[in-house]
Amino acid sequence: MAASRATSAGSGRLGPAGAVAAVLLAVLVAAAAAPLTAQTVVGGDVRIFAFQVLEEIETEGGEDAAEDAGLGGSGGVELGILRLKLDSRWQAGSRDRFRLEVHGVAQAVSPPGSGSLTSVATGATRRFFDLESDSFGGADVAGATEIDRLNLRWDRPGFRMVAGRQAITWGVNYFWPVLELFAPFAPQRIDRAYKPGVDALRFTVPVGDFSEVEVIAASQGARTPDDLSFASLGRFHSELGEGASSLDFGYMVGGFHRDFVLGGFFSADVCGTGLRGEVSWTSPGCDPRSAHPVFGCGDFWRSTVGVDRLLTPTLTLIAEASWNGFGAGDPADYARLADADRVRRGEVVSLGRRHAALSLAWQAHPLLTVSGAVLFNREDSSALFQPGLAWSVSDNVAVGAGLIVTTGTGLRDGSLGSEYGAVPVVAWSSLTAYF
């Protein structure tokens, strides 16, 4: 949420007082409309995370250098997230269906300023409307509230339209989906239950079985036209032959924050093996003389290929390889790259150019899953390991635990020596309760 609060005030910004008022107004309007709808569901969940730094990063500049880079710290960190959800659906006549979705979120972290650790469990994106507020704060804890979903959906036989704050998913890969230009997950995220909502207008037209064309106008920030995006994605489905083999493919074209982007994807199921691929080409919309040719105004490609396979009835494999043409080939450029707007707004989620990942998940018991993932940066040979487990205690309660272990060079004179080597060894646990 810090990213969205950091944007400058401007058109569409409500401020802290306006954000609280908007939250209350949305809940009251939704509650008033609920009895009139054909179907209304009210619920939510509570997620509690605990992080413990087991081994601090090694730095040539010492502990102060780690703190200055935002990567150090020791001791425990607690994060609590409460999400209240209202989903109302009704029908007008025989052809028009409507849906109102409202999610209110309250979050507290102790101690404050622990974003370098809690980012593996939560995140945000810049928005046009400022529907959040710092609720309370102190030396030991800081809290904030926001509306993460606030949208109205209109369904007709020939189209679907969604207006307001909503989750948008365009990529087909898990760790590095390059077509995911609206608030993608970082590859190391341990909790992917909710994507940050984006202020957007989305128009979808079906063009066949499992095929559609989608057009989106969105704003991820208050600067216009710098933060405006207009894009279209076409998804098309084809059966490859007899059996269960199938192919989904499509194109993407649009303008994102002054960038012109072309892309495409495929997703195939061949004899029980999932094959995924994405590619995009970006032409930045800026003066080539005004910035670094790679991190500012040079054209670049991004691509990811992946495979997933059920190796046994209880063991699942996911593997990916990614090329990030916007990334840095030398760790000495990581700090400058991290300050680029594409990275700060979360569109580019890794600093290097060549990455690979492998994930295995074993269902040891119908209620227990043991998993492990490794992310590898081929430029600096650093790696991040994430073993973990998830146990479904009951229909409404789940617990999890895991480790984050890294290899690679830490900080050198206050600069990153590798992408993953500057991350401390962390143990985490979680408790999720649904209601």
Domain at 81, CATH number: 2.40.160.10
Query: Among residues 186, 2, 76, 49, which one has the least CA distance to residue 424?
Result: 76
Q: What's this model's pTM, rounded to 2 decimal places?
A: 0.85
d(CA 132, CA 137): 15
pLDDT on residue 372: 97
Give me the phi and psi of 186, to 5 degrees please: -70, 150
Provide the domain count of the chain: 1
Helix or strand (DSSP H, E) at 248 = strand 246-256
Q: How confident is the model at residue 233 (pLDDT cuts 50, 70, 90)?
A: very high
Give the domain extent around 70: 2-434
Q: Which residue has the higher pLDDT, 227 or 20?
A: 227
Mean pLDDT, residues 285-298: 59
Q: How confident is the model at residue 67 (pLDDT cuts 50, 70, 90)?
A: very low
Helix or strand (DSSP H, E) at 149 = strand 142-156
pLDDT in tens, 394-407: 999 999 999 999 99
pLDDT on residue 283: 92
pLDDT in tens, 118-174: 889 998 888 999 998 877 778 889 999 999 999 999 999 999 999 999 999 999 999
Share of the chain above pLDDT 70, in %: 83
Q: Is the pLDDT of residue 59 over 70?
A: no
